[in-house]
Amino acid sequence: MNAEYHRYLRRKGLILSGLLLLLLVMCMVCLSAGSSGLSVSEMIKALTGNGTAQSSTIIWKVRMPRIAAGIGVGIALSMTGCIMQNILRNPLASASTLGISQGASFGAAFAIMYLGAGIQVNSGSAAAITVTNPYMVTLCAFFGGIATTAIILILVRIQQVTPATMVLAGVAISSMFTGATALIQYFADDVVIATVVYWTFGSLGRAGWREITLIFLFSGGAFLYFFYNRWNYNAMESGTHTAKSLGVPVDSLILTGMVVCSFLCAVSVAFVGCINFIGLIAPHMVRRLVGNDYRFLIPCSGLMGAILMLTADGVSRTLLAPAVLPIGALTSFLGAPLFLYMIVRKGSIR
């Protein structure tokens, strides 16, 4: 039995190492992708500080921030999906399917347009919205996301809704916040509307190193909390009643987990916009490889989310280069067929 357990750990460790290696490969692919035409040698020289001013600017001020933002946001969104699917006992749970992303988007848009977090900047004949107070945007996005979370927790605790009903409630909540966002945009001028709509598409290019640092700090703190409770999540896989009989503080675990997930979603939405399907699809992909052992499922979900984000970003920058497509639209376009394929192949997503 001991030898079998060690083989089990080695197998999971190899999968984790393989995902980490694949992430490094995707980083190099995204670093070389683009319309500037940098060769591999020029890219290496820029990375080592020996490149030209142009190549160094492209690598360190354009591509590296996008890659870092993609990794941080991918980890954050996939971890939230992984944990919400566990504590809500719903395989379709994620920030986008339950309306948390839409609630956070409403809060962020409200802060940008009406609370002075965004200011209109004219540049020649063009105009754009620059987020001058990302902390205000994050705070308002968090309040929007936590409002959705409160509705979900009320449905779970008081009404004892089924997983299918929970998804329907998420559709209703998403529609409500989408309508609210459209309503506040109705009273704004055309330039602000166009900019906020573009912002909701999602873009890794708008996050600077300050925002990226915050994303990694919050994601790292959330990972430590989630990983600390890994055995509790394993117990939750057998049901809430079984988990309670094993001494798991189910109520506090659900409440704290949803608050942490809402905050991670809010930070991601505030800094890069609304990006769908990453939090839903990444945990299911790695669950096929490592099962429901949250010692491995949590870190593997984070790595897979980062890989999917970098893949979508690479496609967005090369498909119609030099134009950069909105990454939020691409993640939905690529994620939905893959998710449907998983359902059709196995007849279930669990």
Distances (CA, A) of 268 to 204, 241, 296: 10, 33, 23
Beta strands in the chain (DSSP E): 118-123, 126-131
Q: What is the pLDDT of residue 231?
A: 94
The DSSP bridge partners found for residue 130 are 119
Burial class of residue 268 (count of CB atoms within 10 Å of its CB; 0-12, 13-18, 19+): buried
Does residue 54 carry a pLDDT above 60?
yes
- Choose among 84, 18, 20, 19: nearest CA to 226: 84
Q: What is the pLDDT of residue 74?
A: 93
Does residue 229 carry a pLDDT above 80?
yes
pTM score, two decimals? 0.86
Does residue 127 carry a pLDDT above 50?
no
Among 8-22, 86-100, 250-264, 324-338, the range with the most confident prediction by mean pLDDT is 8-22
Q: What is the pLDDT of residue 126?
A: 41
For range 2-11, the mean pLDDT: 85
Does residue 42 carry a pLDDT above 90?
no
Q: What are the helix (H) ranges across 88-229?
A: 100-114, 134-154, 163-186, 190-201, 209-228
Per-residue pLDDT of 155-212, as tens digits, reads 777 776 676 677 778 888 888 888 888 888 887 777 677 667 766 777 787 778 888 9
Which comes out higher in pLDDT, residue 209 or 124? Answer: 209
Does residue 43 carry a pLDDT above 50?
yes
Domain count along the chain: 1
- For the chain, state the CA radius of gyration: 21
Among 6-15, 83-92, 97-106, 222-231, the range with the most confident prediction by mean pLDDT is 222-231
Confidence of residue 118 (pLDDT cuts 50, 70, 90): low
Among 53-57, 89-93, 106-110, 345-349, name the one with the lowest average pLDDT.
Answer: 345-349
Does residue 117 carry a pLDDT above 70?
no
Does residue 217 carry a pLDDT above 50?
yes
Residue count (the chain): 350
CATH number of the domain residue 126 falls in:
1.10.3470.10
Distances (CA, A) of 139 to 115, 151, 217, 264, 339: 11, 19, 16, 11, 32
Q: What is the pLDDT of residue 302?
A: 95
Which comes out higher in pLDDT, residue 338 or 91? Answer: 91
Domain span at 221: 2-346
For range 243-258, the mean pLDDT: 88
Q: What is the pLDDT of residue 124?
A: 43
**Three-point CA angle 108, 316, 120, nearest 5°:** 35
Output the six-digit token pair for 179. Answer: 């309508």
- Choose among 217, 204, 212, 219: nearest CA to 66: 204
Residue partners of 88: CB distance under 8 A and separation at least 6: 152, 156, 163, 166, 254
Per-residue pLDDT of 297-335, as tens digits, reads 999 999 999 999 999 888 888 877 777 787 877 887 777
For range 72-84, the mean pLDDT: 93
